[in-house]
């Protein structure tokens, strides 16, 4: 898995992920999200376009991050999920509580 964090307009952190989020790689995602939260970065968009697989640890990380962002007036938005990720997010019930956008551009829109 490859992770990259870029700063976007409006204080939004864009986290781009490529590869599989699994037992071996999920700790890197969790550490990245914790670092952002520790820095007070609570406006986060996650680009899922390159994610082929995600296990329960990754899903739990998204849920945890969403709860902490919203508790401080921020947000977590997921963007550009692959068909696999879109189905998975709907199946486990995270799509809805966590906004899922078709594109990164849409998710970065302050009015979204």
Query: Do residues 69 and 55 make contact, with C-beta atoms less than 8 angstroms apart?
Result: no
User: For 16-71, what is each residue's pLDDT tens digit?
Assistant: 999 999 999 999 999 999 999 999 999 999 999 999 999 999 999 999 999 999 99
Assigned token pair, 8: 């976007």
Between CA 82 and CA 12 the distance in angstroms is: 22
User: Where are the strands (E) in the chain, listed by range?
Assistant: 2-8, 12-21, 43-54, 75-79, 100-101
pTM, full prediction? 0.96
Q: What is the CATH number of domain 2-107?
A: 3.30.750.24
Distances (CA, A) of 102 to 26, 29, 48, 95: 23, 21, 10, 12
């Amino acid at each position: 898995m490859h992770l990259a964090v870029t700063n976007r307009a409006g204080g939004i952190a864009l986290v781009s992920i490529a590869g599989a989020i699994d037992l071996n790689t999920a700790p890197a995602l969790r550490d990245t999200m914790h670092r952002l939260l520790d820095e007070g970065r609570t406006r986060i968009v996650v680009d899922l376009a390159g994610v082929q697989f995600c296990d329960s640890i990754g899903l739990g990380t998204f849920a945890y991050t969403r709860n902490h962002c919203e508790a401080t007036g921020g947000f977590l938005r997921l963007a550009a999920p692959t068909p696999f990720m879109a189905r998975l997010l709907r199946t486990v019930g995270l799509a809805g509580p966590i906004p899922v956008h078709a594109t990164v551009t849409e998710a970065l829109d302050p009015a979204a």
